């Protein structure tokens, strides 16, 4: 089955930039979507189709893709951005989630 690999954790100081990667074989041929999940809450879509932002998501959140890696970038990180982040693709008739990255704001 398709595997999406993310770093387990990323630490960032407030005001700096957090970069979260999502690697998968031939990910370039799939659209990548990103979710933010805060403790005790349901996930929230923050980026879809690699780089589009749903309404209400700050433009500090951006997505990109190059080769076999998709990237979620959070600029001017705030304490409220501390959460788990998951990438996701559609692989044929299945959905696949990445392994998840815990972002800690120092």
Which range touches another protein (CB under 8 A), out of 11-19, 21-29, 33-41, 64-72? 33-41
In the complex, what is the shortest distance from the CB of residue 6 to another protein, in angstroms, rounded to a whole number? Answer: 9
Q: Find, among 88, 92, 103, the residue nearest to 24 by Cα.
A: 88
Number of other residues whose CB lies within 10 A of the CB of residue 99: 14
User: Exactly one of 45, 64, 65, 73 binds another protein (CB under 8 A); which one?
Assistant: 45
27 phi/psi in degrees, rounded to 5: -60, -20
Which ranges of the chain would DSSP assign to H, the alpha helix? none
Question: Are the C-beta atoms of residues 90 and 30 closer than 8 Å to each other?
Answer: yes
Within residues 63-102, the interface with another protein by CB under 8 A covers 84, 86, 88, 90, 93-100
d(CA 79, CA 75): 12
| Count of residues touching another protein (by CB under 8 A) | 24
Which helix (H) or strand (E) segment holds residue 99: the answer is none
Which range touches another protein (CB under 8 A), out of 18-26, 40-48, 58-66, 72-80? 40-48
In the complex, what is the shortest distance from the CB of residue 93 to another protein, in angstroms, rounded to a whole number? Answer: 4
Where does this chain bind another protein (CB under 8 A)?
A: 1, 31, 33, 35, 37, 42-45, 48-49, 54, 84, 86, 88, 90, 93-100
């Amino acid at each position: 089955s398709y595997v999406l690999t993310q770093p387990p954790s990323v630490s960032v100081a407030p005001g700096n930039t957090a970069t979260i990667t999502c690697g998968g074989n031939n990910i370039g041929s799939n659209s990548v979507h990103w979710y933010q999940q805060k403790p005790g809450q349901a996930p929230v879509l923050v980026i879809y189709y690699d780089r589009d932002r749903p309404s209400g998501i700050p433009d500090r959140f951006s997505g990109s893709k190059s080769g076999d890696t998709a990237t979620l970038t959070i600029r001017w990180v705030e304490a409220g951005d501390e959460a788990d982040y998951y990438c996701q693709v559609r692989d044929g008739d299945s959905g696949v989630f990445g392994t998840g990255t815990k972002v800690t704001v120092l």
